[in-house]
Amino acid sequence: MTSFFRKLSWWMQRRRKDDELREELQFHLEEEADALHAEGLSQDHARWAARRDLGNPILLREETRTLWTWTLLEQAAQDVRYALRGLRRSPGFAVVAVVTLALGIGANTAIFTLLDGVMLKPLDVTTPHELQLLQIIDEEGPDPQLGIGPKARFSHLAFQRFVDALPPETTLAAMSRMTLFHVRFGGATRVRATQGQLVSAEYFSLLRVRASHGRLLDQADNRQIDAHPVAVISHTLWRELGSSGSIIGQPISVNGVPITIVGVAEAGFRGVWADKGTELWLPVSMQHALGYRQNYSVSRGQYNAPWLTQNGVTWLTLVARVPDEQRRAFAAATDAAYRADLLAQAEALNIPPERLALALKTRRLLRTPFEHGLSTLRQQFASPLYLLMSLVALVLVVACVNVANLLLARGMARTREIGVRLSLGASRLRLARQMMVESLVLAFAGGAVGVAFGVWLSHSLASLAGVDSILVDTRVLAFSVAVTAATAMLFGVAPALRATRVDPSRVIASSSKGVTASFDVARMRPLVSAQMAVTFVMVTGAVLFGRSLGNLANIDPGFDRDQLVALSFNPVASGYAREEVPALQRRLLERVRTQPGIAAAAVSFCPLAAGCRNSQTVSLEDYQPAPDERVQVQVTDVGADYFTTVGMDLLEGRAIDARDIASAAAVVVINESTARRYFGGRSPVGRRLARGSGGPFRFEIVGLVRDARTNDLAEEPVPTVFVPLVAEAPGPWVIHARVIGDPQVAMRDLRESINRSEPGLLIERSMTIEGQLQQNLTEQRLVAYLATAVGALTLLLACIGLYGVVSYGVARRTSEIGVRLTFGAKRSDIVRQVIAEGGLTAGVGLAAGALLALWATRFVGAMLYDVSPTEPTLYLLVAAGLVASVVLACLVPAGRAACVDPVQALRAE
């Protein structure tokens, strides 16, 4: 310790110490010279001998100095200062290198921010890696929807059987999907749309969350069906409501049901959904009272009866906390419970033994890590994000190659300086280290600019992707720093080693500037060719994705997409009594239709282009399905005037009209896909069908409409059967309105007017159908925009690279060009030759790139719409564009070559 302080105090006065050492050595020299002089040497000889005896005084001082300084640190600081000085001396190089790196690092930071936010970030709860999601794997494999699809849903009875079988120290909790609750606080008329979940008693202890006020939900809240009107709110919601401690015990109304707030969850807890925060938690026992009916499957169950006691209704997501050492016990216990559950269900539901045997054989329980929680975006963006991440990584590699090329050229220009320093006794390692420091300085300058650029980029990307909770945090910064350091290694090491592999004697002896110039330019060319190849692939990809997006955006959805708006309602949840709903619907339709600027309006169950799927089994009188075929169609409930309002053409027969609605007539309208698939070429009008499998064919087909992409613009039309939306339907339902003039303005007016006349009714969503269609293409748009940006970036980098190599070659050969000009070479020949050389380098790369693109684009075929990745014109187009860029990149150095003044060039030699 004392020696540390001594060293510190020495380090503080190191300048004085240095002077003292100089004096001490000087004294030694004089003493030695005196002694030698006394032995009989002449004064001069004695001095020289003393000097020789002392050796290299600088080295000696350097070595002694290490005792009172932290040498490595000092040298590093020196290197940084030296690097900064060097970069200031060649600002052109510095700017190009920093900008190149900033583009590469920035693009990586931006995509990583998005990837991290959507895919990688673990839940912000204690030890999230201990959490596991239960789902069922069957003959088709696990759920493609990453834990939010039907295979990850269980009945409440099954959940209780699992809980009974759990090994000690493990916890299992059940929860519903996130849903929009209509909540009234403190007796207000207005409804607040609140994101909430029904959860079992174990939910909060599973996530190790404490209450900041009041209490959380416990076992006592899950005893009896519909008998526990209590709720816990999030800390965020509590703050929004005024942070009052007296909120505990206050009555609120949730979906029209009186509920008491019993607690506030701890600050910062947002639930288990990665991309939206949960604001309200209610006990699962309240499912029936609250009218929660989402994300469920019913097989041999009652959809209208309480779900809690039914084996046939599956609706709960099961998440467990399993300490590492309990994994095995947990797996065994849950497997056994699942088997017992299958047997119990089979008995309760009278499932035939052969189907049970098959189920036991093919279905089993799958436990998947749950540390990232649930997300609706994850599935949608997984493949585009990973694709983009690999693209931008490739861009960074291209950027590194560029900077490495620049450094190589710079290293060659400094051959002489390095040779001199080597011969003066600098060690090669020290020089290489110093050049690495220069690379690091460049990389971190590029990294700093890049992170700023990346933050900006990630925000615009997030808004493009419709993701809100994206932030650049320490994880992202750590990633950027790591990328930056790796970048420096990638582009710095080879040039540093190469530049210091210099034979000092040769350098000093040779008077000419270029020692190994031609050799090294040849060495740089393959890198440029490789860049060109990568560029070809990137640009081809950009064109493909761009065209695909264009095709999708201009697709005819089968209805009239312009000037159409939709507003959705859930009156019962907003607190209307069931018997009030038909009157409400009539009032709303009346109000909308008489509103100025509205041409037509109709009610329906699903909004257009919102991915509202309602698949049901039907039977057709004239169609005999194959033994294992189930006739599944999309069933859409629509009111009067629906087809004229949305602009779906009626091809045959008639539409569903007001009389059908009023009399609840057994009539349906089908679309072309249904007709094609089940009626062949014959006219379906007048035929009959039944809803469900078999049974009397009660419904008469009265009309045939054109196919439309009602679910999603990127999805082919599916067989659809339109049925009358009965007037008593409690909702939720949607009103579509055809507007005259600006749809945004019309929509705002509609909202205002409805809010005025029905203040207690929540408009769950209101949007233009055009906006909804645009949203359908978010993923494709994201990919197309980014692929274009990445393609442009790579092209820019490749051109900079080519420009660098060609101009370096020209600079090296100035004297040769001078000689040739003197001997009568035409300037146009010189220009042609420079372009030809650059063109050859690029051409090799472009040819390789075309082949590479042909191979690589096969992997994105599934992400393309109506574009063939093997179309020859596409490749010709890309090649033409790239050749033009190559010529441009070569033109400047070629021009410089043509302007060489022979006299000057030769004199310089």
Only segment of 30-38, 298-306, 541-549, 699-707 that touches other proteins (CB under 8 A): 30-38
DSSP string, 72-109: HHHHHHHHHHHHHHHHHH-HHHHHHHHHHHHHHHHHHH
Choosing from 8, 12, 58, 60, the residue that interacts with other proteins (CB under 8 A) is 60
Choosing from 11, 14, 25, 205, the residue that interacts with other proteins (CB under 8 A) is 25
* Smallest distance from other proteins to CB 67, Å: 5
Choosing from 19, 22, 23, 186, the residue that interacts with other proteins (CB under 8 A) is 23
CA distance 680 to 690: 19
Q: Which two tokens stand for residue 348?
A: 């309760």
Which parts of 235-382 are beta strand (E)? 251-254, 257-265, 280-283, 297-298, 313-314, 317-321, 364-369
Only segment of 28-36, 224-232, 273-281, 722-730 that touches other proteins (CB under 8 A): 28-36
Q: Is 406 helix (H, G, I), strand (E, B) or coil?
A: helix
> Does the footprint of other proteins cover residue 615 (CB under 8 A)?
no
> Does the footprint of other proteins cover residue 58 (CB under 8 A)?
no
> Does the footprint of other proteins cover residue 32 (CB under 8 A)?
yes
- Other CB atoms closer than 10 Å to residue 603's CB: what's the count? 26
Instruction: Compute CA distances 686 → 31, 655, 668, 699, 724, whole Å.
Output: 125, 13, 10, 10, 17
* H/E run at residue 733: strand 733-739
Choosing from 9, 13, 16, 20, the residue that interacts with other proteins (CB under 8 A) is 20
Cβ contact 293:303 at 8 Å? yes
CA distance 767 to 466: 15
> Does the footprint of other proteins cover residue 36 (CB under 8 A)?
yes
Q: At a CB cut-off of 8 Å and minimum separation 6, what does 353 contact?
A: none
Surface-to-core class of residue 361, CB atoms within 10 Å of its CB (0-12 exposed, 13-18 middle, 19+ buried): exposed
> Does the footprint of other proteins cover residue 35 (CB under 8 A)?
yes
CA distance 25 to 51: 10
* Smallest distance from other proteins to CB 426, Å: 18
> Does the footprint of other proteins cover residue 55 (CB under 8 A)?
yes
Choosing from 49, 225, 515, 847, the residue that interacts with other proteins (CB under 8 A) is 49
For other proteins, the closer of residues 25 and 863 by Cβ is 25
For other proteins, the closer of residues 35 and 357 by Cβ is 35
> Does the footprint of other proteins cover residue 68 (CB under 8 A)?
yes
Choosing from 12, 54, 332, 358, the residue that interacts with other proteins (CB under 8 A) is 54
CA distance 409 to 403: 10
> Does the footprint of other proteins cover residue 240 (CB under 8 A)?
no
Angle between helices 377-413 and 428-465 (to 10 degrees): 150
* H/E run at residue 723: strand 720-724
Cβ contact 646:705 at 8 Å? no
> Does the footprint of other proteins cover residue 448 (CB under 8 A)?
no
* Smallest distance from other proteins to CB 47, Å: 13
Q: Which two tokens stand for residue 313?
A: 């209704």
* Smallest distance from other proteins to CB 427, Å: 17
> Does the footprint of other proteins cover residue 328 (CB under 8 A)?
no
Quick note: the x/- pattern for other proteins over 656-695, rule CB under 8 A, is ----------------------------------------
Amino acid at 420: V
Only segment of 18-26, 241-249, 696-704, 805-813 that touches other proteins (CB under 8 A): 18-26
* Smallest distance from other proteins to CB 70, Å: 13
> Does the footprint of other proteins cover residue 6 (CB under 8 A)?
yes
* Smallest distance from other proteins to CB 54, Å: 5
> Does the footprint of other proteins cover residue 752 (CB under 8 A)?
no
Choosing from 8, 19, 27, 748, the residue that interacts with other proteins (CB under 8 A) is 27
> Does the footprint of other proteins cover residue 816 (CB under 8 A)?
no
8-state DSSP, 316: B
SS3 string, 173-209, reads EEECCCEEEEEEECCCCCCEEEEEEEECCCHHHHCCC
Only segment of 5-13, 265-273, 300-308, 838-846 that touches other proteins (CB under 8 A): 5-13
> Does the footprint of other proteins cover residue 53 (CB under 8 A)?
yes
State the number of binding residues for other proteins (CB under 8 A). Answer: 29
For other proteins, the closer of residues 31 and 124 by Cβ is 31
For other proteins, the closer of residues 27 and 386 by Cβ is 27
Rg (the chain; Cα; Å): 38
8-state DSSP, 563: T
* Smallest distance from other proteins to CB 833, Å: 58
* Smallest distance from other proteins to CB 23, Å: 7
Residues that bind other proteins in the complex, under the rule CB under 8 A: 2-3, 6-7, 10, 20-21, 23-25, 27-28, 30-32, 34-36, 49, 53-56, 59-60, 63-64, 67-68
